[in-house]
Structure 1
Amino acid sequence: MPTSPEQLTRYEKIESFVKGFKLSSLTYKRVMSLLDEEMKNGLRSQTNTYADIKMFPTFVRSLPNGSEKGQFLALDLGGTNFRVLLVKLDGNSIDIQSKTYLIPQKIMLGTGAQLFDHIADCIAKFTRDHGLLGERLPLGFTFSFPCKQEGLNIARLSKWTKGFRCEGVVGQDICRLLHEALKKKTSAEIEIVAVVNDAVGTLMSTAHGDNNCEIGLILGTGCNACYMERLENVGLWEGDYSYPEQVVINTEWGAFGDNGCLDFIRTEYDRELDTFSINPGKQLMEKMISGMYLGEIVRLVLERLTTEGLLFRGIDRECELFERGRFFTKYVSEIESDRDEFFRSTKQVLDELQVENYTTEDCKIVRYICTLVSSRAAFLASSGLATLINKLGRPEMTIAVDGSLYRFHPRFHNLMRLKIQELVKPGLKFSLALSHDGSGKGAALVAAVAMRLRDVKQELCDNGI
């Protein structure tokens, strides 16, 4: 804390530039109320067209029951790399082998054909390396971008996010595009049984061993959530109403605020980040929470404080701190991991950014800015989860969480746990569970459950039932 009058004035000025990140509990409750209303608009058939939160039914009707058996492929595509997995299930026993492949920037910004050909090439190599040629392999496809699903294995891309901009894919069935690429690239008999996003995979993975899990959350490059909803509340549902009368809903809540309803909490830094993003005016809640953006928000604040003469006095304006996108979100986690007065991680980050002649006071301010930005992100995510917990009203609830931001940030778990406890209705208990390999294992489990239900249906038909 400042001790001298000069320091007091400095900190008072800094506070005037960052006060927008400090939101009251009443403000977060207002966010919850707005989110609840927006989710209702997404669920209603008469309001879904103009709703920003699309609340897509995923056609995943059942969670794992432990009887799933067999050998399954899983494909996890959701960022700048993707994974191919071979998952062997035998009840509660699971064996997973996987390999990660990179997606070059030119492919992220190229054509859809280039993207899916690249993915199919990698899957073909994976099946060869694992001796799977000639095998019949059901595949669960985790595709972590907004889609409108028309069936368990039919999903049309609504829009690209996370830096992707492959032409010719929006509006197309991504399963068909992958299937056509696989036919060209491999001789293995691969059937795309199910397509899910990473939130659904995360939910399925944790639900495999926890019957109280009905919510999945991703806090990584992007931010999204899913949950199990009663069919009677899903106005968009066009499938059958057979038991169980429920379906997992992919909220796509990253778009919350795109209609302007969150403008009252957005800061000048949020607006600048949005203006220079590849999708201005879109995914506004995600831009305040996810790992793709938090580092840049911190950088913008540090840049402003430096320009105002409140930080890094005498800094070289050519250093990398002034370069857009150069302050990575991993820096935020590293800086907040500093627990003593030596600021080892903070100093290492500043050195990497070519900041010279910084003081211990500068390091304190940098860490403070990181805590403000990450705390707001954790509290906004908590507001979303509290809204879902209150909506479901279960006496005990497990929330499956995955993503690099949640995994590696030193305070996110505890910040969220405390804020959710403050926001949920009295008497409702919850726990946050780190999902292990949700987007990979979870996709395979969706495929396994689909195959199990298909076998049951076939058996009933064979018996004339």
Structure 2
Amino acid sequence: KMGSFQPHLEKLKKLMHINDVQLALISDRMLQDMSIGLQKSTKSNVRMEMLPSYVDSLPDGSERGAYIGLDLGGTNLRVLLLTLTDSIDGGAKFDATIKSESYKVPNEKLEGTSAELFDFIAANMVDFAIKNGLEEKMLPVGFTFSFPFDQDRIDHAILKQWTKAYNIKDGVGEDVVQMLRDAIARQGSLKFEVVAVCNDTVGTLVSGVSEDQNCQIGLIVGTGTNAAYLEKVSNIESVNGYKDDRFMCVDMEWEYFADTGALNHFVTEFDKQVDATSPMPGEFIFEKMISGMYLGEIVRLILCQLASVGNIFNEKCLGDLGTTGGFDSRYVSDITEEAIAGHGETNVVKSILASVGVKASQGDVHTVQLVCEFVSIRAAHLCAAGISAVARKIKANHPEKNDLVVTAGVDGSVYAGHPTFDTLLEDKTDELCRNHGVKVQFIRAKDGSGKGAALIAAVLTKVSTLVLTTL
């Protein structure tokens, strides 16, 4: 079916393929790096941060009341109101209603000062409060802040660096919770109180717990990728003063995993090009092979190379396809979707290629579908190697359980939008965990990070149902 270009596609398939033995070794390496990263003394030997979140109590269904979740991820701010009332069937699951608004962070706020950014956040909290009649309410706020920070308690987070599209001049080394509290105070009218800060993977884990009490892993596969999981406090060297039998969410920052060279053997020339043109060359190598910010670019570079040696598209000038960022990761999902539907349909591929300035033959279309498939499979399998390591780490904390089943709550555009990623991830994780006495079930933790932050606030401030009557 690969037609006359078979040698090239065979070679490409081989280049992008990571076999099960290799995936198991990657999983072993991550497991080892996790243990090293949890120890203060050896932490500097790995790049994964393994940050304690100080979230050591999870929702159990008894929470009641109204809470605000605040989620600053990429260039969108989400504000949500989570209302928890008695469960209708008397079970442990509460009845949750969510009202939310999204606000686009304007470009000038990505470049300005931290005070300007936090004033923007507080102003929109006021807007949200007015729209929902909450101006006079004393409500606890959980804040999801998806940038690297150091934490020594649940409402204190020292910013390590601005990442993503943010190029803010100050704020590094300062407490983001205090910056938010100051901005709320400057607004003058709001009675909301910030009680917790977490990152999006921890929020996703907590949100997953509200769907399934067995959720012990939070995973994001979207623009970027990262994971969090429940670790025994006694294994986290930097955390003191806890009873040993407690568990705490640890934010792995696994996007750094391969920065010490763990995946050098699998990094292709295309990955190297992606890395070289990225904002932070040499960093986030694992993320650059998996997440939505880069999948389209990997596909684009492969197609350009195939075109340059005359294997596809009878033209050297490739329109937008020839420029960095000229092939959106969303296209990878759409092309895969059509390929699954089958029936020889190729309209989607043709129109996508036409939109980036390339006229494609039927053979070209098939090649493009296969390239998307190879890149997608590799991404999902690397993610599975990571999740299997996390599952094995959790299993080690429960030696008494022979066949442990853990749930992973997952959020993010690649997991939610790519038609085969979830199945590829689940099947490969199953295979990699098979001989380790642990099985992972995956659930979609929709709205994970904002809802999770509000739930953390709810757990911290367990209040009587009286609060509800005042709403």
Give the TM-score taking structure 2 as reference length: 0.91
Q: Which residue of structure 2 lines up, in the alignment, with residue 439 of structure 1?
A: 449
Please report how far the alpha carbon of residue 449 of structure 1 lies from its aligned counterpart in structure 2 after TM superposition.
0.5
Q: Distance in 1 between matches of 2:407 and 2:346?
A: 36
State yes or no: 1:87 paired with 2:82.
yes
Q: Which residue of structure 2 lines up, in the alignment, with residue 267 of structure 1?
A: 268
Q: Which residue of structure 1 lines up, in the alignment, with residue 421 of structure 2?
A: 412
- Which shifted more, 36-45 or 181-190? 181-190
**Number of corresponding residues:** 446
CA RMSD of aligned residues (A): 1.7
What 5-or-longer segments of structure 2 have no aligned partner?
A: 87-93, 396-400, 465-471
Q: Which residue of structure 2 lines up, in the alignment, with residue 448 of structure 1?
A: 458
Please report how far the alpha carbon of residue 106 of structure 1 lies from its aligned counterpart in structure 2 after TM superposition.
3.5
CA contact (8 A) 1:315 1:355 kept: no
Q: Could you give the per-residue CA deviations for residues 217-248 of structure 1, whole angstroms, max 9, x where no partner exists?
A: 1111111111111111111113x214752211
Q: Distance in 2 between matches of 1:197 and 1:366?
A: 36
Q: Which residue of structure 1 lines up, in the alignment, with residue 41 of structure 2?
A: 46
Q: Which residue of structure 1 lines up, in the alignment, with residue 336 of structure 2?
A: 336
CA contact (8 A) 2:2 2:367 kept: no
Q: Which residue of structure 1 lines up, in the alignment, with residue 22 of structure 2?
A: 27
Residues 98 and 276 of structure 1: CA distance in aligned 2, closer, same or farther (over 3 Å): same
Q: Distance in 2 between matches of 1:196 and 1:101?
A: 20
CA contact (8 A) 2:391 2:439 kept: no
CA contact (8 A) 1:14 1:305 kept: no
CA contact (8 A) 2:234 2:245 kept: no
Give the 3-state SS of the residue equivalent to 2:157 in structure 1: strand
Q: How does 1:204-283 map to 2 (within 5 A)?
A: 204-238=206-240, 240-242=241-243, 245-283=246-284
Q: Which residue of structure 2 lines up, in the alignment, with residue 153 of structure 1?
A: 155
What 5-or-longer segments of structure 1 have no aligned partner?
A: 456-465
Give the 3-state SS of the residue equivalent to 1:289 in structure 2: coil
Q: How does 1:23-422 map to 2 (within 5 A)?
A: 23-91=18-86, 92-238=94-240, 240-242=241-243, 245-317=246-318, 319-338=319-338, 339-340=341-342, 341-356=344-359, 358-393=360-395, 395-422=404-431
The residue type paired with residue 11 of structure 1 is Q
Q: Which residue of structure 1 lines up, in the alignment, with residue 469 of structure 2?
A: none
Give the TM-score taking structure 1 as reference length: 0.92
Residues 134 and 376 of structure 1: CA distance in aligned 2, closer, same or farther (over 3 Å): same
Q: Distance in 2 between matches of 1:143 and 1:184?
A: 20
Give the 3-state SS of the residue equivalent to 2:135 in structure 1: coil
CA contact (8 A) 1:270 1:288 kept: yes
Please report how far the alpha carbon of residue 309 of structure 1 lies from its aligned counterpart in structure 2 after TM superposition.
1.3
Q: Could you give the per-residue CA deviations for residues 26-75 of structure 1, whole angstroms, max 9, x where no partner exists?
A: 11111111111111111011012342001000000011111111111111
The residue type paired with residue 48 of structure 2 is I
Please report how far the alpha carbon of residue 183 of structure 1 lies from its aligned counterpart in structure 2 after TM superposition.
1.5
Q: Distance in 2 between matches of 1:342 and 1:419?
A: 28
Please report how far the alpha carbon of residue 392 of structure 1 lies from its aligned counterpart in structure 2 after TM superposition.
1.4
Moved over 4 A (4+): none
Please report how far the alpha carbon of residue 185 of structure 1 lies from its aligned counterpart in structure 2 after TM superposition.
2.5
Give the 3-state SS of the residue equivalent to 1:386 in structure 2: helix
Residues 444 and 165 of structure 1: CA distance in aligned 2, closer, same or farther (over 3 Å): same
The residue type paired with residue 386 of structure 1 is S
CA contact (8 A) 1:202 1:442 kept: yes
The residue type paired with residue 346 of structure 1 is V
Q: Could you give the per-residue CA deviations for residues 272-312 of structure 1, whole angstroms, max 9, x where no partner exists?
A: 11111111111111111111111111111111111121111
Q: Distance in 2 between matches of 1:364 and 1:160?
A: 41
Q: Distance in 2 between matches of 1:344 and 1:183?
A: 55
Q: Distance in 1 between matches of 2:215 and 2:133?
A: 35
Q: Could you give the per-residue CA deviations for residues 13-36 of structure 1, whole angstroms, max 9, x where no partner exists?
A: 343345321111111111111111
The residue type paired with residue 433 of structure 2 is V
Please report how far the alpha carbon of residue 196 of structure 1 lies from its aligned counterpart in structure 2 after TM superposition.
1.1
Residues 110 and 364 of structure 1: CA distance in aligned 2, closer, same or farther (over 3 Å): farther
The residue type paired with residue 35 of structure 1 is M
Give the 3-state SS of the residue equivalent to 2:183 in structure 1: helix
Give the 3-state SS of the residue equivalent to 2:227 in structure 1: strand
Please report how far the alpha carbon of residue 331 of structure 1 lies from its aligned counterpart in structure 2 after TM superposition.
0.7
The residue type paired with residue 270 of structure 2 is Y
Residues 229 and 312 of structure 1: CA distance in aligned 2, closer, same or farther (over 3 Å): same
Q: Distance in 2 between matches of 1:371 and 1:325?
A: 19
Give the 3-state SS of the residue equivalent to 2:174 in structure 1: coil
Q: Which residue of structure 2 lines up, in the alignment, with residue 461 of structure 1?
A: none
